[in-house]
Amino acid sequence: MEFGLAYIGVGIGAGLAIIGAALGIGRIGGSAVEGMSRQPEAAGAIQLAMIISAALIEGAAMFALVITFSAGGALNNELPKAIANKAAQVQQAPAGQTAPAEKK
């Protein structure tokens, strides 16, 4: 397993979760301000709905971050095992000789 690519995937997953949450909350805020400007008497109800929606989006984003970081932690647990398995496969060459090439 290529661990470098897996770590890149974890980073991309975390970034996408945050970007999605930021875009969603930005749209909620913009729509709420637009609604309050059109109907100022309903500003309290609109603001309450906006805050609840933003909190739900933030909760989903935090859940996504927990999942991506736990995936990164699982990779950290598997990395030493993979290194140990690879090290066991390496053969020591006698002095003055090179090790045989690894077959792909």
Q: What domains does the chain contain, in order, with CATH numbers?
A: 16-75 (1.20.20.10)
pLDDT at residue 76, rounded to an integer: 78
- The band of 97, judged by pLDDT with boundaries at 50, 70 and 90, is low
Assigned token pair, 21: 């949450």
Report pTM. 0.67
Per residue in 53-87, pLDDT tens? 999 999 999 999 999 888 888 887 777 777 777 66
Per residue in 12-54, pLDDT tens? 999 999 999 999 999 999 999 999 999 999 999 999 999 999 9
- Distance CA(92)–CA(67), nearest Å, equals 41
Does position 88 have pLDDT exceeding 90, yes or no?
no
pLDDT at residue 26, rounded to an integer: 96
